[in-house]
Structure 1
Amino acid sequence: MVDEALLRELDRYIKRHYIEDKFLAEGQLSRSVDFDKLQLELQERLNENRQSLAEYIQEWIKKKGMSESDVRNGSMLSRNIFSKIRNNREYHPEKRTVFAIALALHLSYDEAREFMSFMGYTFSNMLKEDIIVGFCFERNKYDITDVNEMLNRNGFNVLGSGLNQKEL
Structure 2
Amino acid sequence: MPLEIVRQDLTKMKVDAIVNPTNTELKMGGGVSGAIFQAAGVDELKQACDNIGGCPVGQAIITNGFRLPSKYIIHTAGPVWKGGSYREAELLKNSYTHSLQLAEKYQCESVAFPLISAGFSGYPKEEALQIAVSTISEFLVNHEMHVYLVVFDKTSFGLSQHLFQSINEYIDENYVEEVEANFSRRIEHFTNEPLLESEIISEEIEVKQSEIIIESSLLHLVEELDESFSERLLRMIDEREMTDVETYKRANIDRRLFSKIRNELGYSPKKKTAIAFAIALQLNVDETNDLLSAAGYTLSHSSIFDVIIKYFIKQGNYNIHQINEALFAFDQTLLGA
**What's the TM-score, normalizing by structure 2?**
0.42
Residue 81 of structure 1 is matched in structure 2 by 257
- The code of the aligned residue for 2:270 comes to E
Contact 1:75 1:104 in 2 (8 A): yes
The one of 156, 162, 166 aligned to 1:5: 162
Matching of residue 33 in structure 1 with residue 212 in structure 2: yes
Residue 96 of structure 1 is matched in structure 2 by 272
- Identity level (%): 28
Contact 2:272 2:333 in 1 (8 A): no
Mark the CA change 1:25 to 1:108 in structure 2 (over 3 Å): closer, same or farther. same
Mark the CA change 1:19 to 1:36 in structure 2 (over 3 Å): closer, same or farther. closer
Structure with greater helix percent: 1
**C-alpha distance in structure 1 between counterparts of 2:218 and 2:330, whole Å:** 39
Structure 1: stretches of 5+ with no match in the other structure: 164-168
Structure 2: stretches of 5+ with no match in the other structure: 1-129, 131-158, 185-202
Mark the CA change 1:4 to 1:102 in structure 2 (over 3 Å): closer, same or farther. same
Mark the CA change 1:7 to 1:63 in structure 2 (over 3 Å): closer, same or farther. farther
- The code of the aligned residue for 2:228 comes to S
Shift of 1:77: 0.8
Shift of 1:38: 7.3
Q: Calculate the aligned-residue CA RMSD, in Å.
A: 2.9
- The code of the aligned residue for 1:112 comes to T
Shift of 1:158: 1.7
CA deviation vs aligned residue, 1:84-134 (integer Å, no higher than 9, x gap):
211222210010100111101111122112222222111111110011011
Shift of 1:40: 7.4
The one of 293, 299, 303 aligned to 1:123: 299
**C-alpha distance in structure 1 between counterparts of 2:330 and 2:294, whole Å:** 27
Matching of residue 158 in structure 1 with residue 334 in structure 2: yes
Higher relative contact order (CA 8 A, sep 6+): 1
Shift of 1:21: 4.2
Matched residue pairs, number? 158
Residue 166 of structure 1 is matched in structure 2 by none
SS for the counterpart of 1:122 is coil
**C-alpha distance in structure 2 between counterparts of 1:142 and 1:149, whole Å:** 13
Mark the CA change 1:21 to 1:54 in structure 2 (over 3 Å): closer, same or farther. closer
Higher Rg = 2
